[in-house]
C-alpha cells in the first residue's frame, strides 16, 4: 500500500492533514444527481481511502443532493478522530438537476443543518462558502451578507472553520475582514492556472488551497505532452497531473475525485513520483496562454 505521508502535510484550520485527500463528488449518480449506479462500490472507495491513510474528505450536501453525505456516513461513521470532512454551501439543486444559488440566511442555515444531519455530526469541521455569481468561475461581487450568516453559525458552534470557494482575490480579502478564512477551493490544474499568483499569496498567509477539478473534472485532462512525460516516468497521466500539483506549492491539498478503487489506488501512488526538471519544464508549458507570464 502506498505511504501517502510522503506527500507531507499542511494546516487546515486547527488540524494538520495529509496533502493527499479525497473528493467525494463523483460518488453521486450521473451529473452529481441521485444515487450512484454502484452504491457498494461507492462505500468501498470511501473505506479504502480512509484505510489508505486519507484524513481529508471534501463533500457537499448538494451532491446528490444529500446522497453523497449519506454514503459517507454509512461508510465511515463513527468517524476516525483525525478525519477532517470539508463541506460547502451556497447552492440548491433543482428537480432537473440544475445548480441554483442559495444564499439567503434561511437557505444557508438550512444547508448547514442538512450537512450536520446527513453526515451525522454535531459540528462541521470546515464549511466553504461556494459563490455562484457566475456559473463559469469566480466573478466579483460582495460576499459580506452570506459570509456574515456563516460566521454567525460558526459563533453558534455549528461550524469549526470557514473557507471560500469559487472566489477572486478581492473576495478573499473582503472575507478575511469578516471571518478567519482557513482554505480556498477554486478550479486549478496543469491546464487551468488562473490562480498561480493567488496560490503563492495564500501559501505566504498559511492558508490552504484545495484545487477542484485537479484532474480536469468531468472530462479528465488530455494532453500529448502530459502523456509523453507519463510514459517516460512509467506513470499514468493522472498520476503525473497530481504529482505536478504536489510540487507546485506546499499549501496545495489534493482532493481528486473517483468512483473507482483502482483509480483511487493509482491516484495515491502519485506521491511516489519525483518530477525531473525537464519533465517540469514540459508540464509547465501545457497551460500555454493560460499560464502566467
Ligand X SMILES: NC(=O)c1ccc[n+]([C@@H]2O[C@H](COP(=O)([O-])OP(=O)(O)OC[C@H]3O[C@@H](n4cnc5c(N)ncnc54)[C@H](OP(=O)(O)O)[C@@H]3O)[C@@H](O)[C@H]2O)c1
Binding residues for ligand X, rule: CB under 6 A, are 23-26, 58, 88, 130, 165-166, 185, 212-218, 220, 238, 255-260, 263, 266-267
Catalytic, 63? Answer yes
Backbone φ and ψ for 93, nearest 5 degrees, come out as -90, 135
Backbone φ and ψ for 128, nearest 5 degrees, come out as -90, 130
Largest separation between any pair of C-alpha atoms in the chain: 53
Taking the complex as a whole, the smallest distance from the CB of residue 32 to ligand X amounts, in Å, to 8
Cell numbers placing 165: 470557494
Taking the complex as a whole, the smallest distance from the CB of residue 26 to ligand X amounts, in Å, to 4
The active-site residue, picked from 63, 79, 188, 209, is: 63
Instruction: Report the alpha-carbon distance of residue 185 to residue 174 in Å, rounded.
Output: 16
Q: Which is nearer to ligand X, 247 or 260 (CB)?
A: 260
Q: Which is nearer to ligand X, 15 or 263 (CB)?
A: 263
* 133 within 8 A of 165, measured Cβ to Cβ: no
Taking the complex as a whole, the smallest distance from the CB of residue 96 to ligand X amounts, in Å, to 19
Q: Which is nearer to ligand X, 232 or 262 (CB)?
A: 262
Cell numbers placing 120: 451525522
Q: Which is nearer to ligand X, 13 or 188 (CB)?
A: 188
Taking the complex as a whole, the smallest distance from the CB of residue 293 to ligand X amounts, in Å, to 26
Residues 6+ apart with CB under 8 A from 66: 114, 118
Taking the complex as a whole, the smallest distance from the CB of residue 217 to ligand X amounts, in Å, to 4
Position with the least CB separation from ligand X:
257
Angle at 87 between CA 61 and CA 256, to 5 degrees: 100
Q: Which is nearer to ligand X, 175 or 216 (CB)?
A: 216
* 209 within 8 A of 196, measured Cβ to Cβ: no
Taking the complex as a whole, the smallest distance from the CB of residue 68 to ligand X amounts, in Å, to 9
List, by residue number, the catalytic residues.
Answer: 63
Amino acid at each position: 500500500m502506498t505511504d501517502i505521508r510522503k506527500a507531507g502535510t499542511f494546516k487546515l484550520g486547527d488540524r494538520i492533514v495529509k496533502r493527499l485527500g479525497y473528493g467525494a463528488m463523483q460518488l453521486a449518480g450521473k451529473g452529481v444527481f441521485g444515487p450512484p449506479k454502484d452504491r457498494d462500490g461507492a462505500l468501498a472507495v470511501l473505506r479504502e481511502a480512509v484505510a489508505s491513510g486519507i484524513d481529508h474528505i471534501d463533500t457537499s450536501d448538494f451532491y446528490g443532493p444529500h446522497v453523497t453525505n449519506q454514503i459517507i456516513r454509512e461508510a465511515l461513521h463513527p468517524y476516525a478522530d483525525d478525519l477532517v470532512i470539508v463541506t460547502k454551501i451556497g447552492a440548491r439543486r433543482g428537480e432537473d438537476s440544475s445548480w441554483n444559488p442559495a444564499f439567503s440566511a434561511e437557505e444557508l442555515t438550512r444547508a448547514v443543518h442538512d450537512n450536520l444531519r446527513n453526515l451525522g455530526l454535531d459540528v462541521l469541521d470546515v464549511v466553504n462558502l461556494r459563490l455562484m455569481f457566475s456559473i463559469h468561475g469566480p466573478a466579483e461581487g460582495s460576499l459580506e451578507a452570506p459570509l456574515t450568516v456563516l460566521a454567525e453559525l460558526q459563533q453558534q458552534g455549528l461550524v469549526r472553520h470557514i473557507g471560500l470557494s469559487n472566489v477572486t482575490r478581492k473576495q478573499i480579502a473582503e472575507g478575511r475582514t469578516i471571518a478567519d478564512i482557513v482554505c480556498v477551493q477554486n478550479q486549478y490544474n496543469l491546464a487551468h492556472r488562473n490562480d498561480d499568483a493567488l496560490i503563492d499569496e495564500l501559501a505566504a498567509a498559511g492558508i490552504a488551497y484545495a484545487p477542484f477539478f485537479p484532474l480536469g473534472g468531468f472530462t479528465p485532462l488530455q494532453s500529448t505532452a502530459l502523456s509523453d512525460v507519463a510514459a517516460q516516468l512509467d506513470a499514468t497521466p493522472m498520476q503525473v497531473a497530481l504529482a505536478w500539483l504536489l510540487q507546485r506549492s506546499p499549501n496545495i491539498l489534493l482532493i481528486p475525485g473517483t468512483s473507482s478503487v483502482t483509480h483511487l489506488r493509482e491516484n495515491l501512488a502519485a506521491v511516489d513520483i519525483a518530477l525531473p526538471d525537464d519533465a517540469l519544464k514540459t508540464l509547465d508549458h501545457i497551460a500555454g496562454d493560460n499560464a502566467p507570464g
